[in-house]
Amino acid sequence: MRFSANEYYALANADCISVAKSLGMQVDEGKQTTTKAVHIKHSGGLYIFPEKNNWYRHSDSRGGFPIDLVMDTLSCSKEYALEFIQKNVLVSYTPTFPSRASDFRLPVQTSPERVRAYLTKTRGIDEEIVDCLIADSLIGEDNAHHNCMFIGKDSSGAVRSCALRGTGATQFRGEVSGGNKSCSFAIAGSSDKLRVFESPIDAMSHATFSKLLGIDWKSDHRLSANGCGHTSVLRYLKEHREISSVILSLDNDQAGHTAAGTIEQKLNAEFTERKISVSRVISQRKDWNEDLMAFRAAEKSGVSVIEFLKAAYPQIERSNYSFQQYKEG
* DSSP code per residue over 149-175: EEEEE-TTS-EEEEEEE-SSTT--EEE
Cα 176 from chain centre: 15
Specify the pLDDT at position 293.
Answer: 96
Query: Comparing C-alpha atoms, which of 188, 224, 217 is closest to residue 327?
Result: 217
Query: Which pLDDT band, with edges at 50, 70 and 90, does 325 fall under?
Result: very low
Look at residue 37 in the predicted model and tell me its pLDDT.
Answer: 83
- Specify the pLDDT at position 60: 83
Write out pLDDT tens, residues 149-199. 999 998 889 999 999 998 877 667 888 888 888 899 999 999 999 999 999
- Label residue 4 by pLDDT band (50, 70, 90): low
Q: What is the mean pLDDT of residues 269-292?
A: 91
The C-alpha atoms of residue 232 and residue 24 are separated, in whole angstroms, by: 9
CA 233 to chain centre: 10
What is the residue-averaged pLDDT of the chain? Answer: 84
pLDDT score of 96 more than 60: no
pLDDT tens figures, 101-125: 457 889 999 999 999 999 999 999 9
3-class DSSP assignment, residue 115 = helix
Tell me the C-alpha to C-alpha distance, in Å, between residue 126 and each of 6, 205, 245.
37, 8, 26
Confidence of residue 247 (pLDDT cuts 50, 70, 90): very high
Nearest-angstrom CA–CA distance, 100 and 276: 33
Residue 234: phi and psi, rounded to 5, are -60, -45
Query: Furthest-apart CA pair in the chain: how many Å?
Result: 63
Domain 113-328 - what CATH class?
alpha beta
Q: 5-94 in CATH: which number?
A: 3.90.580.10
The pLDDT of residue 29: 64
Domain residue ranges of the chain, discontinuous segments joined by +: 5-94, 113-328
Looking at the chain, the whole-number percentage of residues with pLDDT higher than 70 is 84
Q: In the predicted model, is pLDDT for residue 311 greater than 90?
A: no
Q: For residues 255 and 197, which has the higher predicted lDDT (pLDDT)?
A: 197
Where is average pLDDT lowest: 35-44, 195-204, 236-245, 300-309?
A: 35-44
Q: Which amino acid is at 205?
A: S
pLDDT the model gives residue 324:
43
Q: Is residue 42's pLDDT more than 80?
A: yes
For the cut 70, the answer to whether the pLDDT of residue 100 exceeds it is no
CA distance 64 to 48: 10
